[in-house]
Amino acid sequence: MIAGCEGGCACGEVRYRLTAEPIMVNCCHCRDCQRQTGGAFVINAVIEPRHVELLGQAPAPWRVESGSGKGQSILRCPACQVAVWSIYHAAGDGAWFLRAATLDEPDRVRPQVHIFTADKLPWLTLSDDIPQRPAFYSGRDLIGLFGEDGAARWRTVIGR
């Protein structure tokens, strides 16, 4: 449970508090996330913007290309440039993919699914206790992965 948790960038200019649980938490292994983070993957807590209370300066958007062709906006601290969340325009603007590592207590977050494992770096071993998908999850996966509430919230966010 991370509702009520706070987080922010490295320099402290951008600060936020979550006012609800995320819709879902995924661990993305796609090449874009690898390149943009400089790591093997990124853990995203997907949440509606209305559930993120800004406590400090707002992050600034940087538009980049994405695998969907619709681009994404990475919101970074204007001072230290840490990526705090992204908006994947293929999913619309109703969900923020919050970088879980920017939480003050990132160890409280556990992915519900590994996605884009077809791009996973070969030396990384994943445990079998978290579902894995070679690409993005499909609509028929939603309830099984995220429960009724998470699936309903996601469908609302993407307008389906």
Instruction: Show the beta-strand stretches assigned E in the chain.
Output: 6-8, 15-18, 24-28, 42-47, 52-54, 60-64, 72-76, 83-88, 96-99, 113-115
Q: Which domain holds residue 125?
A: 6-158
Total structural domains within the chain: 1
Residue 100 lies in a domain: yes
pLDDT in tens, 116-132: 999 999 999 999 999 99
Residue 70's pLDDT is: 67
Question: How does the average pLDDT of the chain come out, rounded?
Answer: 91
Q: Is the pLDDT of residue 65 over 80?
A: no
Residue 137 pLDDT class (50, 70, 90 cuts): confident
Count of other CB atoms within 10 angstroms of residue 81: 14
Residue 1 lies in a domain: no
Q: What's the rounded mean pLDDT across residues 97-119?
A: 96
Q: pTM of the prediction?
A: 0.91
Residue 58 lies in a domain: yes
pLDDT in tens, 8-52: 999 999 999 999 999 999 999 999 889 988 999 999 999 999 999
